[in-house]
Chains A and B, each alone.
Chain A
């Protein structure tokens, strides 16, 4: 088999050295009745590259790629153009096939880019310190809530109604174990009065901006209200390109910031792998979960980097760890760092402006269609429309016409009657005028 270098002669020689007659003897500790023949597995045998490629290509062809049609989905995952250099660099053997940098002398490549990543995330979020990534934005949000519970020693988390419902469900799954999670009312297009829900049991308020309906929130007054009661503000960002144009959560007094970094460097990939960004204040450093890289020097006095503050982590602290996390998002984190290095200040700023300009133009076009109204008054690259028919049906009808028209809010909030008519639409630098026109025309036909 092409991936197995040992030959029959090799195996015979190795068995002889070991002193057994067959490889079965090496499995002598396995109860006999637990060893099954190959025929027990209803699975195919070895196939060559050609067959595998053919089979998987056929499967892939049954999907409509975002780039193959006018495409307007967002709601936590965004289609952006990733420069060719990014994918080329992350496929270098030494990045792709290396392990966690536990032996720093031969992993400075990984450690240095992690350090660059940590710096980029701190700068983008306006916070003092960031980790080397978590799995994704939703689990990062859950970790932020747990951290707030540890820091304040209080049980309650209040989730804004504009928080992505998948994120809210994820938080409930883990934070509900050690505390209480309450959700504020869902008010599409409007900021809910979350301050009045904060009390002396509140560990944190979790607010997403721009929220799942696209609404840009003003976090500063919410932070003030939280701090007045001794609670923390967890700010969530699912479209990290927005930080190229909007005020950073750190400058709005957020205490912990959890983001989905997928928009930079990483493709849609049907939901994963993505990259969670996590940043906080220096004073909470030891309560922060996840891997951290720190600068130091080697025995020859040269600057170098190492994993540090590992005593927070599971492999040392075991049941007293801040989290059970073992991996970070390694390669996705590298893709983020490379893409952001190519963008730089000027590129990110221009990219953010283009995104907003495209979305704004699209919103005008679509809101001009009869029966359609724009729900979100202030947005970055994503907004919500109210349609005269259930949005899910409209999306299906448009899909039949070859247009991927966005995410019906009912997919995320299946039991909220107000969500039925709402369609969440995103536009990015990849959206063309032709796409926008096609969408408006088809929408008008279908309604």
Chain B
């Protein structure tokens, strides 16, 4: 069988009883909170709507027969419920979020205000284009920022997330190859790549061929060149790569790739390291998605929404998906019709309904205008400086496989420093929770053992970084001294102890269900 050594304890083990029992089960400001289905009751409602008379004659006989089963709650109950839930979450507003490859930077509040301007927020995508010129202007201006910062001639705006952008880029590549009358179905992907890369490539109908890394954490140039051939459609690289290192040979790789008739897809997740200083277009890329929710501060929102516009080279630009945005004497116009295409356009299709994540565009443009080109460059410098500061401050107590440095915007450690202590990367990470920190990215990239990838971003003050460094240093020293009490069974101070992921996967319970004989919510 394939040995995928990601198995690690997913059931929590036992714990000791230790705290003062309260009568309510709540503890100070920490409240336990049931589900809305357990709170809701018949007769409660959080909105006031008239009970309108309605004829059924136009429903085609499809009136629903059964109740849906939704619970009823008043507004105070709903607000209290979600406020209590929110208090069980860590957030970038609450503390440093050292998640490598996620770029958890500050989410400026001005962005939220701008996105909510009625002229943006309350605008229908299919309203007559004469009534949406300001929105199209915003998209156009954002396109200018993205193409200028990357040094690329074109950008496709509709992808709804980074992975969606990857798909868009690969489909453009596929279309370009087909237009040349060729058949190429292999894509070269480094073994250190983020899972979306091979998943997207497979999704787009390609076969994946993995390229190994060298001892210094970069893609093996020789192996890459050896694997290029007339059946290779593209290489997919991340730069800086997932180990937080700049691929020095990237120009050489781009040239070799183009010479072999293939295209260069770049995963832009780590763009924060070089924005305003380096233009990926100068490095020879053909397509790169940009995670607006990473580099350009649109909020992560607990898992989304994101946006993944894709910059395209001249070779790929003709294949950009619909809709296209044009600007001429008559103003701005979306082109959605294949028969109305500008000269040379051969879109491969449509990625999704409508035009893209306008709500994220307005936020990203607000960020860009606020920062300016000098602020974008400063952000990248501070991000790289902070990551190197952490690397320099901790590499003597924690093991950094590429510690000779410098790193880019993220610093990679592995679990060698924990050898013989009985403490794993997982335990170390969970103990960080008790210290008031969200753990760093763990077990990624897969190319080092027990990876810990730390990305501080430019949003941390030096005081914040020093505190973080101090805590990690003390934790590492304790682990190495085999004082493992704080690690075993961590976290203890979070709203929940370690959760049984094994049980959750063996017997999935994916929704609330009414229990027989127990008084339940509204029906």
Contact = CB atoms under 8 A, between A and B. Distances in A.
Q: Is there a direct interface between A and B, measured as CB atoms under 8 Å apart in the complex?
A: yes
A81 to B, nearest CB: 9
Contacts of B204: 177
Give the interface size class of chain B: 35 or more
Nearest to B74: A342
Nearest to A104: B499
Contacts of A215: 60
B69 A345 contact: yes
Interface in A2-54: 2-7, 10-11, 13-15, 17-20, 23, 25-31, 33-36, 38, 40-49, 51-53
Given A34-B283, A318-B199, A327-B161, 9 more contacts: A6-B461, A18-B405, A73-B124, A97-B92, A98-B301, A105-B491, A135-B161, A327-B303, A356-B59
B389 to A, nearest CB: 4
B300 A97 contact: yes
A407 interface: yes
Given A61-B119, A104-B496, A112-B35, A66 B124 contact: yes
A67 B378 CA distance: 40
Contacts of B274: 27, 30
A102 to B, nearest CB: 9
A431 interface: no
A389 to B, nearest CB: 15
Interface residues of A, number: 210
B314 to A, nearest CB: 19
Interface string B346-379: 0011111111111110100110111111110111
B470 interface: no
B58 interface: yes
Nearest 6 Cβ contacts at the A-B interface? A60-B119, A378-B60, A271-B354, A62-B134, A331-B301, A342-B46
B224 interface: no
B370 A340 contact: no
Contacts of B459: 3-5
Chief secondary structure at chain B's binding surface: loop
A56 B382 contact: no
A329 to B, nearest CB: 5
A393 to B, nearest CB: 11
B305 A97 contact: no
A124 B503 CA distance: 27
Interface string A113-130: 111101110111000011
A404 B123 CA distance: 11
Contact of A169 (B302, B349, B444): B349
Interface stretch (B190-198, B412-420, B476-484): B190-198
A293 B58 CA distance: 39
A336 B141 CA distance: 31
Contacts of A345: 67-72, 522-523
A442 B272 CA distance: 52
Interface in B73-121: 73, 75, 78-79, 81-83, 85-94, 97, 99, 102, 104, 106-108, 110, 112-121
Given A123-B70, A135-B352, A96 B301 contact: yes
